[in-house]
Amino acid sequence: MTFDYTNRYTSTRLPVFARNVVATSHPLAAQAGLRMLERGGNAVDAAVAGAAVMTICEPVSNGLGSDAFCILWDGQQLHGLNAAGRAPQGWSQSYFRKKYGSDAATPPKRGFDSVTVPGAVAGWAALSRRFGKLPFADLMQPAIEIAERGYLVPVVVRQKWAAATPELQSLPGFAECFLPWGRAPQVGELFRFPAAARGLRAIAESGGDAFYQGEIAQAIVAMSAHHGGALTAADFAGFQPEWVTPISQNYRGYALHEIPPSGQGMAALIALGILEQFDMAALPVDGVDSQHVQIEAMKLAFADVYRYVAEPSSMAVTPAQMLDAGYLKSRAKLIDMNRAQDFGAGNPAKGGTIYLTAADESGMMVSFIQSNYMGFGSGCVEPAYGISLQNRGVGFSLQDDSPNVVEPGKRPFHTIIPAFLTKDGQPVMSFGVMGANMQPQGHVQALVRMLDYGQNPQTACDAPRWRFNQGLSINAESTMNAAAVQGLVERGHRTELINDSYQDFGAGQFIWRVGDPTVEGYVAASDARRDGVAAGF
């Protein structure tokens, strides 16, 4: 691929070229990863160290009580890691209906009844044991130091911190840990998190075991019980992350790889399979036709994903059936280039998140994502160890006919998805785009820009995005081509222009392999919609 390195969009970023590189949404996390690489570590060491720092520096999006996923190239092949937590054994439909009424459609959005067993720490440990070079405890040291000494709160993080405070300030442990002044911090104000330093130190010394079988697990379980939650010591002790084989979809001679269900990565694969039926390169890159067909493909993808995707054992169809070439071709025929549609699911049986990526000169590439979800997750924070807990339980349904109906020990439908691109079985790009259901939409829009239009990773990051919501409703960034926006409206898209790019359009990190990692290395990009950076040497 020969990229166009001109940039027609307003940007505060430039592509970064290096043989060892880390791209994250906070500079201190990128620097932590580079420290590991400079000490002789590899891309996995860099990613784990960066992920630990992100729990401190961007607590609005993730914490020590996050879930996580990873796709990595070890130099020979791809590996996938699913570190999503499972439901407590005490959860069932009757559990929630007794507490919240028979009309409740899902578990609550906040509080301990939204918390599944957090998987991120187990994911860090599993990655380090299998692929890391440095001692696990060393990977935690940058985060421990930052938590103890503090850091100056950046612009975007502060904005979201303040926005979440009114809803969350009364939840257990939140004000104690995240509102030390009785309010959200100001930009440039020093925030220290000594409780999280204590938690990280226990995680470091135990190789993560303290979180699942030691003092941290005991503290979370006790707090859950005090506030009416169902988490038990057995729920924590029984948790293990799962190594999985990524699933893929071919597009323009490349293959996009995603983690298999219960995540929404299927949506990106389905949409690309549909777009493969169109000559996208013949359509102007920022014109209405290109945007319209991408939006419609994304709608078709979500219709099937929301109907069918769940834990594999609960799915009525298989991923292979959902990605069947004949089926996707039939779905593509439903797209009308002249009008927006509200699609239903087909029948394939007939046929708040942070993302970071790291690569080293040995050729190892890591695509890693972790999240608390919805901005600070459950809002519950164990105060002795600084464990900010996710709220992934809200991804369950309480409806009998849903494949995501809540059951003991089951994983919920999950939104966070790392991505990886290969060509002819060889690594090309580790990347991801943060932001709930924006993630597969961001994957698709970025890949179309790069593979169909030759835009380089930073330009593809900077380009204006749209976001499908539901029905005919979409959001579009206010910087999108005005003629394209008007054209979408005329075709029936209920379009709202949005200025807050962080909230609605996600943020990406990209590392593209230029050639031999020991010679040409990589080109990396970091999205200006957050406070991050791509850095390397």
Condensed to tens digits (0 to 9), the pLDDT of residues 94-110 reads 999 999 999 999 999 99
Q: What is the pLDDT of residue 436?
A: 85
Residue 500 has pLDDT above 80, yes or no: no
Buried-exposed string 67-89: b where 16+ CB fall within 10 A, e elsewhere = bbbbbbbbeeebbbbbbbbbbbe
Closest to 343 in 3D by CA, of 472, 522, 485: 472
CA 66, CA 64: separation in Å to the nearest integer?
6
User: Which residues, 6 or more positions from 226, have their beta carbon under 8 angstroms from its beta carbon?
Assistant: none
Share of the chain above pLDDT 70, in %: 99
Q: What is the mean pLDDT of residues 434-448?
A: 94
pTM of the entire structure? 0.96
Q: What is the pLDDT of residues 366-419, one digit of tens each?
A: 999 999 999 999 999 999 999 999 999 999 999 999 999 999 999 999 999 999
With H, G, I as helix, E, B as strand and everything else as coil, classify residue 261.
Answer: coil
Residue 501 has pLDDT above 90, yes or no: no
Q: What is the pLDDT of residue 11?
A: 82
Q: What is the pLDDT of residue 77?
A: 97
Average model confidence (pLDDT) across the chain: 96
Residue 150 has pLDDT above 70, yes or no: yes
Question: Angle, to 10 degrees, between the axis of helix 438-447 and the axis of helix 288-308?
Answer: 140
Q: What is the pLDDT of residue 234?
A: 98
Q: What is the pLDDT of residues 295-326, one digit of tens each?
A: 999 999 999 999 999 999 999 999 999 999 99
Model confidence at 283, in pLDDT bands (50, 70, 90)?
Answer: very high
CA 515, CA 232: separation in Å to the nearest integer?
49
- The top-level CATH class assigned to 245-353+417-536 is alpha beta
Match 């860099």 to its residue by tokens: 46
Q: What is the pLDDT of residue 502?
A: 59
CA 192, CA 509: separation in Å to the nearest integer?
27
End-to-end alpha carbon distance in the chain = 23
Q: What is the pLDDT of residues 23-53, one digit of tens each?
A: 999 999 999 999 999 999 999 999 999 999 9
Upper half-sphere CA count for residue 67 (Cβ side, 13 Å): 33
The residues assigned a catalytic role are: 353
Q: What is the mean pLDDT of residues 459-473?
A: 96
SS3 annotation, 402-437: CCCECCCCCCCCECCCCEEEEECCEEEEEEEEECCC
E-assigned strands of 239-378? Answer: 242-244, 247-251, 254-258, 353-359, 365-371
Beta bridge partners, 19, equal: none
Residue 485 has pLDDT above 90, yes or no: yes
Domain boundaries, the chain: 28-243+365-395, 245-353+417-536
Q: What is the mean pLDDT of residues 467-473?
A: 96
Q: What is the pLDDT of residue 350?
A: 56
Residue 433 has pLDDT above 90, yes or no: yes
Q: What is the pLDDT of residue 351?
A: 46
Q: What is the pLDDT of residues 214-270, one digit of tens each?
A: 999 999 999 999 999 999 999 999 999 999 999 999 999 999 999 999 999 999 999
The alpha-helical segments, DSSP class H, found in 41-119 are 43-57, 93-100
Q: What is the pLDDT of residues 353-362, one digit of tens each?
A: 899 999 999 9
